[in-house]
Amino acid sequence: MRIQISSRTLQSDFVKKVTEISGQDLLACNQCGKCSAGCPMCFAMDLLPNQIIRLAQLGLEEDIAASKTVWLCASCLTCTVRCPRGVDLGRVMEAIRLITLRKNIDYVGAAKIPKDTISELPQIALVSSFRKHTA
């Protein structure tokens, strides 16, 4: 993959926003890959969690936006407890999701879920999905 970085991407609003919302120092990550090694959802991801944080360090917002990875994160926090550099990747994932959700763009459309599925799902599933995946 060919990527272009510049002072524009490195100092972009995106990097500032992710840092601010997550409260995490993105540059603390040294790409050891432990987060991806333990991620239970990485089998379904197009980019691995460590690749997401690398792209975030470089301010490559469009590459992150084109990936489904942050929407597949289940916030299980396995990466968070295992990171040897103390980066709470669960918070970084949440910050990236929120940057989209706060533009009023939903990942899950409540109105599109079939009635039968809604009645089958317990409150705990619906409320947490809407909390994580809707604006």
| Residues lying near other proteins in the complex (CB under 8 A) | 20-23, 40-41, 43-44, 71-72, 74-78, 80-81, 88, 90-91, 93-95, 98, 107-108, 113, 120-129, 131-133
Angle between helices 123-133 and 89-101 (to 10 degrees): 70
Count of all residues that appear for the chain in the document: 135
> Shortest approach of other proteins to residue 24 CB, angstroms?
9
Q: Does residue 79 contact residue 66 with C-beta atoms inside 8 Å? A: no
By C-beta, is 3 or 28 nearer to other proteins? 28
> Shortest approach of other proteins to residue 62 CB, angstroms?
22
